[in-house]
Copies of this chain bind each other. A is one copy, B any other.
Amino acid sequence: MSERIAVVGVGRMGANMARRLQEAGYSVTAVYDARPESAEALAKELNCANPLKLEDVTALADVVITVVTDDKAMHQIFAPRGDSLLNNAKGRIFINCATVSPAVHVDIEKRARRVKASSLEACMASSINQARAGTLYLMVGGDSKVFERAKPILDALSDQGKLLRYIGRAGQAAQVKALVNMVMNINTAGLAEGLGLGSALGLDLKVLMEVFSQTGANSRVLVTDGEDMLNRDHSCFFSAAHAAKDSGIAYALGQQAKLELPLAKAALGQFRKMVKVGLGELDKSGVAELTFKGRGPRKKRSASKKAKR
């Protein structure tokens, strides 16, 4: 645990990962965010630095974990010139946890190698509570030797490595992550249609969900999202906006491969529609707002956090 760790991008996920690593005995030396006030508050909590320059983050750490918004943010923090995590980065390991396009991970790995640093992608298939508890499901892509070096840190985030999967070379973990979320989003949007139609037909939705759970209609999202769809409890674990982003990444991969993916397209359409009508910050279970009669964007939904899961 001699490595000094910095975290770049301290939204709900990144901040909880920093808290978890400090709790696990690691020295968290710096945090950074595009919104300096976020980094400042967390730095106070963790008693660490909050540099305003990216190159100062690199100077303070051996391992830099990044959890930023999108492809563009990744290119900015790893800019080839100007202020960048890559300045004087020789020997550093970058662990990139955001869901971004697979090609971005390949590109960042090249950029890191050029300055004699290393990078990994560690794609997460879990949410905020798991980040805090150190029980994230992590899919890792990149050089296997770099993976071995980073493994103790990754273990501390993934239930002592029980939820850690090495997938393959750079980009492949991000591809798997995109596919996971593509299929999950299809199942979620499909479940919302089944329950919405059941409601319109006047069926007992508790009985309907029970039958789903005992038949070929069963799925993980039935367990995680079914009741929330009935109760309109769409406080956010994984937002519709994120679902739209991830389905968009997967759908783009399909287009590049010249595949027809009508279900993926339909699910992407639903989550993009949520964003368009102002429901993007609801949990993905909020897709039921589009399929139940009498629901929809005009009714205000609370977005308060909830404790369960």
Contact = CB atoms under 8 A, between A and B. Distances in A.
A183 B213 CA distance: 11
A203 B175 contact: yes
A214 B262 CA distance: 25
Given A139-B211, A211-B139, A220-B216, A263 B186 contact: yes
Query: Assembly of this chain: how many copies?
Result: 2
Interface string A276-290: 000000000000001
A41 interface: no
A184 B293 contact: no
Contacts of A198: 175-176, 179
Interface string A125-148: 100000000000101000000000
A269 interface: yes
A221 B217 CA distance: 8
Given A137-B214, A176-B211, A262-B270, A201 B165 contact: no
Contact of A125 (B167, B190, B216, B250): B216
Contact of A220 (B176, B203, B219, B257): B219
Contacts of A263: 186, 189-190, 193, 263, 266-267, 270
A24 interface: no
B266 A262 contact: yes
A187 B184 contact: no
A179 B214 CA distance: 13
Contact of A290 (B196, B224, B260): B260
A70 B265 CA distance: 31
A168 interface: yes
Interface in A167-221: 167-168, 172, 175-176, 179-184, 186-187, 189-191, 193-194, 196-198, 200-201, 203-204, 207-208, 211-212, 214-221
Contacts of A250: 197
Nearest to A200: B257
A102 B14 CA distance: 51
17 contacts: A137-B214, A165-B207, A167-B203, A168-B204, A172-B201, A176-B198, A180-B215, A182-B190, A183-B219, A184-B216, A186-B190, A186-B193, A193-B264, A197-B250, A260-B290, A260-B291, A263-B263
- What are the 4 A-B residue pairs with the smallest beta carbon separation, nearest first? A186-B190, A184-B216, A219-B219, A200-B257
Given A182-B190, A190-B263, 12 more contacts: A125-B211, A125-B214, A139-B211, A176-B211, A180-B211, A190-B267, A193-B261, A196-B259, A201-B253, A215-B220, A216-B224, A263-B267
